[in-house]
Amino acid sequence: MNWLCIALVWALSQAACAQTYELLVRGAHVIDPANARNGKMDVAVSQGKIVKVASHINETASQVIDAAGLYLSPGFIDPHTHVFVGTQAGQFANGVNSVSPDDFTFRSGVTTVVDAGTSGWRSFPVFKKQVIDQSKTRILAFLNISGGGMTGAAHEQDLQDMNVDSAVALMRQYPDVIAGVKIGHYNAKEWTPFDNALNAARQAGKPLFVECHLPEYTLEEQLAKMRPGDMITHTFENIKERMPIVGENGQVRPFVLEARKRGILFDLGHGGAGFWFDQAVPAVKQGFYPNSFGTDLHRFSMNSAMKDMANVMSKFMAMGLSLEQVVQIATWNAAKAIGHPELGNLKEGNPADIVLFRLREGDFGFMDSAGSSINGNRKLEVELTVRQGKVVWDLNGLAAKKKGF
């Protein structure tokens, strides 16, 4: 009798100690470049964190998703967006030209965005209260050196509003939310805005984000002032106001290659007018592709050639990059660039931001900002997105309770 009691107690204790996860994704092909994972694995999640990644996880879970035939990666990171949405007509800062992030991020596998200078040191508190604190998407920000942010061309020319001390103080107040300093949309010849932004970034220990809408500064001059880890966007733009990265001889310009070698990071910055195949195709063929896939998400770009992050990634596969390369660019590369190494990878203990996607095969067309198109035979389609352990997008009901009718 005593042996039966002992055995029963032992069995109950073993059952009590058995690991039960909140979410278990089984059988997906995991691509996690930061941790050199590339193969069929299971992923377990509890309390919003990655708990275990292994070839097979035997423990039980409250919710199990059969992901056979799908790819799984860290949630995508978009380092160039405009999401300071509000009621101001014709504006990006607190305006209708920005978009509400949750409406567009999760369906394309994006779990983290960085707002690219839509707010400045003076308007950031409103942005944080009104959008950042209300959204499920993780929102970070590049702080515009112009205090009011993107409130119109005239305002962004005001040198008196480009206060270094105020910008630095705000970055020190919100070090985990503000990823760096942005300079852009300045039309005069003075270097004061650029120098102020660079000074603020240096004092705060953050990167500078250069948006390139600076017609009086040459591309070479801007790159020469930038430091390793600073980012320049609209990499494949081809407009008359700015020298493109590919010269008339079809080669990436030597000073651009030298800048990359020094550690300058080139963000895509697709946008509505910032991406041209006549720049991207020859550059990619020469091994020059963006460090990150900033989509420049706003109300115009999402309805033109850009579409969304999944479309951008598919576009670069059509130009010759592998699936593993585009996943690395959209995850780990971006996480390092914005100073958040806890993101963009599936290391145990990190936030459980996950995307499940299907790689469709067929005949697909991809557009650029000039109205040109190319064809590709592979296209990413996001099936399910998890943000901090919670399913926030489920295209075909993979996580739903199955009903038989």
- Do residues 122 and 16 both lie within one domain? no
> Model confidence at 215, in pLDDT bands (50, 70, 90)?
confident
Task: Retrieve residue 358's tokens.
Answer: 């299907």
The answer to whether position 97 is within a domain reads yes
Q: For position 205, what pLDDT does the model report?
A: 98
- Do residues 260 and 146 both lie within one domain? yes
- Do residues 161 and 16 both lie within one domain? no
Rounded Cα–Cα distance for residues 211 and 227 (Å) = 15
The answer to whether position 259 is within a domain reads yes
The answer to whether position 234 is within a domain reads yes
List, in order, residues 6 or more apart from 248 with CB less than 8 Å away: none
Rounded Cα–Cα distance for residues 296 and 80 (Å) = 5
Task: Retrieve residue 99's tokens.
Answer: 């978009």
pLDDT in tens, 365-384: 999 999 999 999 999 999 99
The answer to whether position 152 is within a domain reads yes
The neighbour count for residue 169, using CB atoms within 10 Å, is 14
CATH number of the CATH domain containing 211? 3.20.20.140
- Do residues 179 and 224 both lie within one domain? yes
Beta bridge partners of residue 162, listed in sequence order: none
Is the pLDDT at 8 greater than 60? The verdict is: no
Is the pLDDT at 398 greater than 90? The verdict is: yes
- Do residues 119 and 201 both lie within one domain? yes
Is the pLDDT at 14 greater than 90? The verdict is: no
Question: With contact defined as beta carbons under 8 Å apart, do 35 and 345 qualify?
Answer: yes
- Do residues 56 and 93 both lie within one domain? no
Q: For position 4, what pLDDT does the model report?
A: 53
Domain housing 258:
75-337
- Do residues 40 and 187 both lie within one domain? no
pLDDT in tens, 309-351: 999 999 999 999 999 999 999 999 999 999 999 999 999 999 9
- Do residues 105 and 253 both lie within one domain? yes
> Model confidence at 3, in pLDDT bands (50, 70, 90)?
low
- Do residues 250 and 114 both lie within one domain? yes
Number of structural domains the chain divides into? 2
- Do residues 307 and 321 both lie within one domain? yes
Q: What is the three-class DSSP state of 329? A: helix
| Range 212-234 average pLDDT | 91
DSSP label at residue 362 = E
Looking at every residue in the chain, the average pLDDT score rounds to 93
| Mode of pairing for the β-strands spanning 390-394 and 373-387 | antiparallel
Is the pLDDT at 13 greater than 60? The verdict is: no
Q: How many CA atoms lie within 13 A of 17 on its CB side?
A: 6
Q: For position 2, what pLDDT does the model report?
A: 59
Q: For position 12, what pLDDT does the model report?
A: 42
Rounded Cα–Cα distance for residues 17 and 328 (Å) = 37
Query: Is-above-0.85 flag for pTM?
Result: yes
- Do residues 158 and 63 both lie within one domain? no
The answer to whether position 369 is within a domain reads no
